[in-house]
Amino acid sequence: MKFAIKGMEHWRRALPAIGSVSVMALVLLLAALIGQIEAGVAGAGCLALAGLAALFHALARFGYSARISEADFAAAQLAAAFLLLAWLTYASGDNPAVLPVLYLVAMLYGMLQLDRARLGALATLGAVMHGTALFMLIDQGRGVDLAAVWTQFGALVLAFAWFTYAAGIVLRLRARLAEAHRRLHDLGLEANDRASRDTLTGVYHHRHLMEALEREIARAERVGKPLSIARVDLDWLGSVNETHGTTAGDIALKRFTEAAAGALRDVDVFGRYGGKEFLALMPDTDLQGAVIAAERIRAAVGREPIPEVKGRRHLSCTLGVAEHRRGENTRLVIGRAEAGLNYAKAAGRDRVVALDASGTPATAGAAAPAAR
């Protein structure tokens, strides 16, 4: 998988340059076919382009390009292309009209890859090398039309300037597109997270809990790590609703979930199993550690105030804890946690109960005083 990702990254970096070189070679071949440039010069240019493409492909393929930034690698490719085009200008002798087209193809590649400063420096280099080739042709007395040559050169410089200016616009557009893509990705994650949560309490809903528990069971059996869960029941919620109304009951639920979730670790998963029952998943936690975590939840919930109900002025919760056994599915481990919860309720609520291997209560947290 790692090699596949590296290969994809390599092709992603190499593809724009390969495409540009292919277009330049095709232009040369077409120009040779219609007599715009000598066939020998066009052939030599195509071979040189193929050699450059192979060189940079090898540098990218074997990881040498990873030692520099993507922009520096593209700049090196563009500089090599300008050097090759200056040589073609000199080798063609009569400065055919096809050469400015090749320069523009190279500049288009640079505009899509480089910032304005880099492209401006390379455009200056390209203009200087092209001008040097023209001066050498004139100095050697080649049969060139001076007016046409310098007009073409001036137009090429103006085109270089325009491409350099446009590179800044393209760079800003790419930055805005990347930012928009990032925001869209974040919004998608936020939407998925909201869809996985209970609308009243904000904790995960039943379906997400079951999916998370299945993943954690598979992981625990794969890596041999412990996994424990706790069934959590909010005490006296029905009495709160009857005495103070459902609005007070909703507030009690919210305070309960905030306290319970705050008592857990970041890696733990807490959600609403149904009604006033909740489920806590505790990866990498054995039964003893889960009991300690459950007592921490019970203590945190017990500090939350509510309107007085049956002599109670604070919330309380009852918990049943179970550790996953190898080969056990979600239904079985939840069932054992529920059995512990039922034992705790029968013993007077506001306590933690875990069952041993024989199914009898092995741990029971001491209940808080009845009136708080």
Q: What is the pLDDT of residues 305-335, one digit of tens each?
A: 987 877 778 999 999 999 999 999 999 999 9
Place of tokens 């493409």: 53
Asked if residues 123 and 160 have their Cβ atoms less than 8 Å apart, the reply is: yes
Selected residue with higher pLDDT from 39 and 319: 319
Task: Spell out the residues 6+ positions from residue 295 whose beta carbon is closer than 8 angstroms to its own.
Answer: 352, 365
| Farthest CA pair distance, the chain | 111
Phi, psi (5° rounding) for residue 305? -80, 150
- What's the pLDDT band for 303 if we cut at 50, 70, 90? very high
Q: Which residue has the higher pLDDT, 36 or 341?
A: 341
Adjacent-strand bridge partners of 269? 281
pLDDT in tens, 165-190: 888 888 888 888 888 888 887 777 66
β pairing state of 317-323 and 352-355: parallel
User: What's the whole-number average pLDDT of the chain?
Assistant: 84
Nearest to 149 by CA among 164, 133, 161: 133
Please determine, for residue 3, whether its predicted confidence score (pLDDT) is greater than 60.
no
DSSP classification of residue 143: -
Residue 114 phi/psi, 5-degree rounding, is: -120, 160
Residue whose structure tokens are 């690698």: 73
On the question of pLDDT at 259 being above 90, the answer is yes
Note the pLDDT of residue 370: 38
Domain 206-364 classification at class level: alpha beta
| Residue 297 · residue 316 · CB < 8 Å | no
- Position 41: which residue type? V
pLDDT band at 130 (very low <50, low <70, confident <90, very high): confident
Q: Tell if the pTM clears 0.85, that is, is over it.
A: no
- What mean pLDDT comes out for the span 188-212? 81
How far the first Cα of the chain sits from its last, in Å, is: 59
User: Which of residues 246 and 174 earns the better pLDDT score?
Assistant: 246
Please report, for the chain, the start and end positions of each structural domain, with discontinuous segments joined by +.
2-188, 206-364
